[in-house]
Amino acid sequence: MKKMLFVLFCLLGWALPASAQEPLPPIIPPEPPIWHFDGLRIAHQRVNVTIADQVAVTHIDQLFVNDNDWVLEGTYLFPLPAGAAVSQLTMWVDGIPIEAKILAKEEARAIYDEIVRQLRDPALLEYVGSSAIQANVFPIPAHAERRIEIEYSQVLPADNGLIHFTYPQSTHLYTNTPLDEQSIRVELASPEAIRAIYSPSHAVSIDRDGEFRALVGYEASRVTPDQDFELYYTVSPENIGLNLLSYKEAGQDGFFLLLVAPNVEVDPEEVVAKDVIIVLDTSGSMEGQKLAQAKEAARYVIDHLNPTDRYNIVTFSTGVRSFMPELTSVASRVDYAGFIENLEAVGGTNISLALLEAVGQADAERPLTILFLTDGLATEGITDTPNLLDAIDQAAPRSVRLFAFGVGDDVDTILLDSLAANHRGATTYVRPNQAVDEAVSGFYAKVSTPVLADVSLTVDGVVVEQLYPATLPDLFAGTQLIIVGRYREGGPAAITLSGQVNGQPQTFTYSDNLFRDSGGDAFIPRLWATRAIGHLLNEIRLHGENAELVQSIVNLSIRYGIITPYTSYLIEEDDIFSQTGRESVIEEAAANFAAPKEASGEAAVDAAAMAGALSEAEAPMAAPDLGLPTTGGGATVSAQELVRLVGSKTFVMRSGVWTDTAFDADTMQPQPVAFASDAYFDLLTIVPELGQYLALGEGVLVVHEGTAYQVMPGADTAPITPRATTSSDEPDAVVTPTPPPVTVPATPAADAGICPAALLVPLILLGAGLITRRRW
């Protein structure tokens, strides 16, 4: 969905009384102007995009509804993707073609600046550097609809096989009315095989049609879009494609992301032959629907094995039963369905004996996938978790991959997560309202066809570190692996991916990769921090509280705005910008982590599932609506009201100022800048990338290349020359006058029977930029 920016200037009461013969003197609007968001809504906004041979054709369909008792009319202003070379523009209003023009970024910037000066609102500064579409729009009568459609084309450049499509969207600052309906549909077609398809911004569905076509979809209702729609896809003739994205700020280590994606369709000879053992809990607590769904899941897995695979079924309660004495070939005609159907739930839970039986059948030369389903704690055999883990570790060869499914909330999360972590697997928690068979079958569909086992990664030319996942999983056909990490200095690098295919070593080398020296894809730092916090939370859960780990979690949470029930100090604590304040937060967090916590139960499963979701996240974590209490107690406040994520930065609301969490109160002296002053716009001209941060409001404190700038209404400042400073630098205070107040035509007094005094009421709504006025 395109960034539709409605800027509505509703002038109240243009009509004059019959007795009025002379114009009334102008009046000064109140400072700040009255904000009013009601009356205009967007019933739907549908975006259909086709991308073929790197040419993207974007069609936007918007339905605006005027719920007011008056007419709205004006000019349509529609910011375009930054840097996009747009052509073949077409626009319709209610199906009738109208004339529209593309404003160059300089023309658009002049309009944005004027609106900011007039309205005292900086929201449009987010679009600095972007061109825009401008057109006159027919009036929207009271309680009527107006349908606006736009279509334009742009060429998407390819960077070493990586193509990036952006659909800019307005943030919540532009409206307090969610879209009734939003949909984005992207059809991909490429003459080269499409490998990875990735959106860091939205949870999209991906439907692949072979190697060269795909359909990407996103739908939501009653939604306020708060970030641009970003889509990356890669093309490569290689069997396994690898592409690099990176981001680096001056004077800091960089962040990178690797998209690794094998073929969708694989030659049978290239599929890794594997063994699968289903270890199934049949204790008394599995009686009823849980066991019925587990049986269905087991049948699905065996029905979908590859021709070269082998399998077995191990069930356990007080004792253990195996379907066959050893692994059996898929080609063998044995009645596994009858064995599964006759399973009954009875007895205790002997987890250790079942897992030892399974790993004892492993062949060190073939990957063994263990699907372990249980709904309870160990009550038979080895019941002490550390001892049980040690026993499995000693018995299992390196070829074992263990995937645990915890059914319900009465499971040992420490045991399940440790088993998965120790044996290159993952844990899935199937909550009481979820179906076991759907969870298992959905998971197995992704891992049924391995194409590279024992995966490892090396980078030559650039020093990389702190990679997540720390242990790389196997690669499976039709899936993609997302790796994030840090690097020290930018430059060219060769990346090598190594692994095993049916016992034979395989190596894939990718040259011509460039780690950026500056700039890049700003979402990567927050994605890296999301995974890092998930990893650290798991380390504390599984191995106990550690002061360094707690400090790392606190620092990452504050810097990148990763809010969880365990890292909510961004909202709850006032002082997070000084060393003293941060130390207090770390002490409080350490006490929270050190408190004894149960390994099972609803809270334990919630914590395990959350940490797992963070550590495996494919997109940066957005600020959730936690409903946390304010520092004064009483009413609750959502995270979105106090935290804003902009680019790679995090801002928190403190004393009416959106404050950059990179600000250090002990070492930085903010440089004041008067909102909407000449110095304010000069700063924006010199450093246009600050526009996205200044768009937050009139009060913003942002750090750029070591200098802190504090934008304040009415402050006296002087012309600014931004410069990089060290922590010991103290920028000089500067002074310029604020602009004079803006006047608008007056309206008759309220006692004349006309609308109250004329007020400039700006209405900024998500949608298209429509500069309108209100007619009575």
Task: Tell me: pLDDT of 480 over 80.
Answer: yes
Question: Are 607 and 411 in contact, with CB atoms under 8 Å apart?
Answer: no
Largest CA distance in the chain: 104
Taking alpha carbons only, the member of 279, 297, 295, 423 closest to residue 358 is 279
Greatest mean pLDDT among 77-91, 163-177, 227-241 lies in 227-241
Characterize the bridge pairing of strands 427-430 and 400-407.
parallel
Taking alpha carbons only, the member of 30, 125, 113 closest to residue 742 is 30
- Please tell me what DSSP assigns to residue 424: T
Q: Residue type at 119?
A: L
State pLDDT tens for residues 532-558. Answer: 999 999 998 888 888 888 889 888 988
DSSP 3-state of 195: strand
State pLDDT tens for residues 245-298. Answer: 999 998 899 999 999 999 888 777 778 889 999 999 999 999 999 999 999 999
DSSP 3-state of 695: coil
Give the span between the Cα atoms of 183 and 171, in whole angstroms: 16
Greatest mean pLDDT among 109-113, 467-471, 646-650 lies in 467-471
Question: Are 226 and 146 in contact, with CB atoms under 8 Å apart?
Answer: no
pLDDT of res. 69: 87
Do you find a cis peptide bond into 325, omega within 30 degrees of 0?
no
Between 130-139, 182-191, 192-201, the lowest mean confidence (pLDDT) is in: 130-139
Position 225 confidence tier, pLDDT thresholds 50, 70, 90: confident
State pLDDT tens for residues 599-613. Answer: 999 999 998 999 999
From residue 661, alpha-carbon distances to 248, 417, 557, 573, 649 in Å are: 17, 33, 10, 13, 8
Task: Tell me: pLDDT of 21 over 60.
Answer: no
Give the span between the Cα atoms of 748 and 758, in whole angstroms: 8
Helix then strand count (H, E) for the chain reads: 15, 42
Position 94 confidence tier, pLDDT thresholds 50, 70, 90: confident
**Residue 334: how many other CB atoms lie within 10 Å:** 12
Taking alpha carbons only, the member of 79, 73, 74, 141 closest to residue 107 is 79
